[in-house]
Structure 1
Amino acid sequence: MALLEIGAYSNVLEMEVSFNVLLPQATKKTVGTATRGVTEDIPVLYLLHGMGQNHSIWLRKSSIERYASHHEIAVVMPSTDLGFYTDTTYDMKYWQYISEELPKIVHEFFPQITYKREKTFAAGLSMGGYGAVKLGLLKPDNFAAVASLSGAVYFNDIENFLAVRDAAYWEGVLGPFDQFMTSKNNPSQMLKDFIASGKMSPRFFLACGTEDGLHPASQYMAHKMRQAEMPVTFEDGPGQHDWVFWDQWIQRVLVWMLEEKPGEN
């Protein structure tokens, strides 16, 4: 695998941005890492970070490079700072950047990466799990499958949010609390709008540790997706909101994305 850190200008954000890319590369006589190397129409995973993290975190805290090399998939790891993958009320259009501009930049710099929906995926942890589910629900024509690890995918109690950061932050990224339940940034509303659209659904994978406070959120979202007869897999196991869980389960996600047949578990 080749590892590249890209510095580029975002016209949407009107600022310099950075993102990391893992790219399959043919190698020989490299102990333990020799690969055939896909050089065209390369499958791609957009892998999103959580709160307080950035584009470097998956490389620093997990073995994503080794896992991606095994599956011969490109991995794009962007950053949206604390923007929660939204077009914020303070005029930072992180959602537009991630969902529209970033793929165009990636294809401009790396034309060997696939343009095909069936080979394009998204995943993330915590806040990034929210972002991945949002990509699946709002951009279903672009993604074959998306995965959320310990995702913030169900908003029900404002007090839970205020325990993490104050109201000014949340209203900055998600909008006024008095419009919370019907906000376009609320996963429940996204799901309702998606169901009403009649569009073809990507496959969804939701996983969370049983000792994680966000476990009920993943469980509930999977339940609502099943009720809508969407292709969703929900799995859990021992674990907390930490990198021990995420490093383990991103391996399961890659197998599911690339090898499992479509369908609902």
Structure 2
Amino acid sequence: MKMRSFLAIGVLLLLSFNVLAAKVDTLEVYSASMKKRIRTSVVLPDGYAKTKKYPVVYLLHGYSGSYAYWAGVKGALEGADRYQMILVCPDGGYGSWYWDSPVDPSFRYETFVSGELVSWVDKNYATIPTSKGRGIAGLSMGGHGALYLAIKHPDVFGAAGSMSGGVDIRPFPNNWDMAKRLGRYSEFPERWEKNTVINMLHLIEPQTLRIIIDCGTDDFFYKVNEELHQALLLRNIPHDYITRPGAHTSAYWQNAIFYQLLFMDRFFSEADVKTK
């Protein structure tokens, strides 16, 4: 019995070391469009080698988060190791919603994430530089951002995931600095209608984007996620849709990231771009 206990402890220790094997680079990436440096975390999988090519998942934080959020989530680090993928976690600013703001030229996060950052990562890391080797996911504001950017840039991202995403901004005209980025809904309704994910589904060409949506049944964004799910069904757009008990909390997202990265891994594997 003692020998079995020691063996079990040894296995657990080895697993623990594997969990912590991912390396996190914390750096700054210059944005020419915003004329400033953007803090970014890059998670490299265990055994990362420049002689190989790795798929990349861009992970976006929420309204009150930062570039450091996902690099501190155990499930994200485990996923990078297990699936041999690079995770890129940029700072999305305070309430950027990952738009190029028509109001404030200092907020051009669509251009940064989908263009400047992707180009920088492909230049500095051993990536698979095609949409078949890139996914993007995020939570809350970042869930909106991931779907928004992937729908607008299918040549850049081949898969998109949302966790507790604000996928329809219109019911929340006074929240989370959105009016600062688009102007007031009452004054510029066309901007709100054009830049809300649920109204962008007509832009998705068949077989161009893999989608996963996850939202807890106690989340204040649950209703808009249900409505997005129904709109996707109406348009016959394939997607994975997950709901379970849970609210708009870190506990929910730290569980959701396992499903998101598994989904991304399957996308990369089916696209046959995984590192050999």
Structure 2 residue 216 is the aligned partner of structure 1 residue 209: yes
Distance 2:140 2:122 in 1: 27
Pick the aligned partner of 1:142 from 156, 159, 162: 156
Query: Does the Cα contact within 8 Å between 2:75 and 2:258 map onto a contact in 1?
Result: no
Matches within 5 A, 1:73-222: 73-82=85-94, 83-88=96-101, 89-91=103-105, 92-110=107-125, 112-157=126-171, 160-162=172-174, 164-165=175-176, 169-178=177-186, 179-180=188-189, 183=192, 184-192=194-202, 194-195=203-204, 198=205, 200-222=207-229
Amino acid paired to 2:44 = L
- TM-score between the two structures when normalised by the length of structure 1: 0.84
Q: CA deviation at 1:61?
A: 4.5
Among 74, 82, 88, which residue is 1:70 paired with? 82
- Identity rate of aligned residues, in percent? 26
Q: Deviations over 1:123-180 (max 9, x none)?
A: 00000000011122101122221100000001332xx342x34xxx322213341333
Post-superposition Cα deviations, 1:58-107, rounded to whole Å, max 9, x if no partner, equal: 12344311221111110000011121101121112111111111101111
Q: Which of these two proteins has the greater Rg computed from alpha carbons?
A: 2
Q: Given the two structures, how large is their TM-score scaled by the length of structure 2?
A: 0.81
Give the stretch that moved more between structures: 176-185 or 120-129: 176-185
Query: Please, which runs of 5 or more residues in structure 2 have no aligned partner?
Result: 1-21, 271-276
Give distance in 2, aligned partners of 1:11 and 1:182.
Answer: 25
Structure 1 residue corresponding to 2:40, chosen from 19, 27, 42: 19
Structure 2: how far apart are the matches of 1:189 and 1:175? 18
Cα pair 1:117 1:143 within 8 Å, conserved: yes
Q: Give the partner amino acid of 1:21.
A: V
Structure 1 residue 227 and structure 2 residue 234: aligned?
yes
Secondary structure at the counterpart of residue 63 of structure 1: helix
Unaligned runs of 5+ in 1: 27-35
Asked if the contact 2:136–2:146 (Cα under 8 Å) also holds between the matched residues in 1, the reply is yes
Return the offset for 1:200: 4.3
Q: Distance in 1 between matches of 2:258 and 2:73?
A: 14
Query: 1:41-72 CA deviation, whole Å, 9 max, x = no partner?
Result: 20100000000111001123443112211111
8 Å CA contact 2:173, 2:179 repeated in 1: no
Residue 51 and residue 130 in structure 1: after superposition, are their counterparts in 2 closer, same or farther (change >3 A)? same
Going from structure 1 to structure 2, the CA distance change for 1:151 and 1:78 (only over 3 Å counts) comes to same
